[in-house]
A and B are shown apart, each in its own frame.
Chain A
Amino acid sequence: MAVFMSKGAVLAVGMGIGVAIASGATVANSQPAPKAAASPGAKAANMRHENFEKLGEAFKTVIDETKKGEPNKAVVARAAQTMNTLATALPTWFPRGSGVEARAKSEAKANIWTDAAGFSAAAAASQLQVSKLNQAAISGDMNAVRAQIRATGGSCKACHDKYRLEKKS
């Protein structure tokens, strides 16, 4: 019985180590893998991903900063400027062939290209809201910025709801 128990204990520890290694490997795999000779589509998809990360980070900066009692106006203006630059370029981030076929983790839906007119309109609507946010930030009126945040977020969501794949976890 004692021998059996110790075997069981060894097995349990072994399984624990196995699980730890496996989960470590999963984490390692989830890091962006080095790209070997990425296709133009994959390059575009990767760059798009990075740009959306920057856009999200900048919007988050605006939101976090304006939630403070006394926001740093320069920080808000700089982040809004970044958003404006990115949002202006956004329509160019979606060359044909840069969808899931080029990057498996891409969340770009096929209707971005099949419904190009609708997508352009949604992107333009978002661009307009971001430019208003930028104008408010330039004016230094933090209440105007706060008031424009909801419309801006809504325009992100409107496009995401229609043209972004819900990632399965």
Chain B
Amino acid sequence: MPQAPPEGVKVRLWDGPVRIVHWLLVALIGFSWWASEDHLDWHQWSGYGVVGLLLFRIYWGFAGSEAARFASFVRGPRATLAYLKTVSARTPSATAGHNPLGALSILALLGLLTVQVITGLFAVDVDAYQGGPLSHMVSFDQGRRLAELHDLSFHGLQALVVLHVAAIVFYLVWKRTNLIGPMITGFRWLPIDPGLARAPLWRLALGVALAGAAAWFISKGLRL
């Protein structure tokens, strides 16, 4: 998908952690879906991975490099409406990072994924044989209801993923802006260098340690 080299500068947009978390989520969510049928033990392990990635991504939304931060891309209704008016224009997008609409998509995806993992942590299988690591805190009946919600919220998640991919295809085909490449390489050509701040390595190490420890603790049913 290389395009004619555009005018402008090559900008380091998405840091490594953002890209790794993104593609690991793609892999683990797909795997979890497949394993939900007959491999609930693998489904659980995969789910713990998603818990860790999700916790890290939320942390990184406050501590990460500039384009990863919620404060840099979550906008108010006015800015979102203003962007909405320009979205159909057949001009390449030049937003350095998530545009205001994409920001809503990110929040919805992270929000629903949070619902997904929380319901999964408490869910109980129909045979009562398998359950999430926190299912000992709920009754069988409650655990079954949460399993149904887990199922329902996954349908919502699927819809959001379809929307997300459709938006990227729209940008690629209609606006001739390739958003896939930057999520792989981290680099993007932009008209001007936005001068994005980068995050120091210690913050990455801290986040990995915190999210990993939290996911491990949750997988143990909050028991040491």
Q: Which of B1-9, B121-129, B196-204 contacts A (4 or more CB under 8 A)?
A: B121-129
A56 close to B148 (CB less than 8 A): no
Q: How large is the interface on A (under 10, 10 to 19, 20 to 34, 35 or more residues)?
A: 10 to 19
B139 close to A57 (CB less than 8 A): yes
Instruction: Answer whether residue B144 sits at the interface, using C-beta atoms and an 8 A cutoff.
Output: yes
Q: How large is the interface on B (under 10, 10 to 19, 20 to 34, 35 or more residues)?
A: 10 to 19
Partner of A60, one of B128, B148, B151, B221: B128
B151 close to A53 (CB less than 8 A): no
- In the complex, chain A residues 46-82 whose Cβ is within 8 Å of any chain B Cβ: 53, 55-57, 59-60, 63-64, 67
A53 close to B136 (CB less than 8 A): no
Partner of B129, one of A53, A63, A67, A164: A63
Instruction: Answer whether residue A137 sits at the interface, using C-beta atoms and an 8 A cutoff.
Output: no
User: A112-152 vs B: 1/0 string, CB under 8 Å?
Assistant: 00000000000000000000000000000000000001101
- Contacts A57-B139, A57-B140, A67-B136: A153 and B151 contacting too (C-beta < 8 A)? no
* Sample of 27 A–B contacts (CB below 8 Å): A56-B128, A56-B140, A57-B128, A57-B139, A59-B127, A59-B128, A59-B129, A60-B124, A60-B128, A60-B131, A60-B139, A63-B128, A63-B129, A64-B135, A64-B136, A67-B136, A67-B221, A149-B129, A152-B129, A153-B127, A153-B129, A156-B127, A156-B128, A156-B129, A157-B127, A169-B148, A169-B152
| Residues of A with C-beta under 8 A to B130 | 153
| Residues of B with C-beta under 8 A to A59 | 127-129, 140
Instruction: Give chain A's interface residues, CB within 8 Å of chain B.
Output: 53, 55-57, 59-60, 63-64, 67, 149-150, 152-154, 156-157, 160, 164, 169
- Contacts A56-B140, A60-B124, A60-B140: A169 and B129 contacting too (C-beta < 8 A)? no
Contacts A156-B129, A169-B151 known; list 17 others, CB within 8 Å. Answer: A53-B141, A56-B124, A56-B140, A57-B128, A57-B141, A59-B127, A59-B128, A60-B128, A60-B131, A63-B128, A64-B136, A153-B129, A154-B129, A157-B129, A164-B126, A169-B148, A169-B152
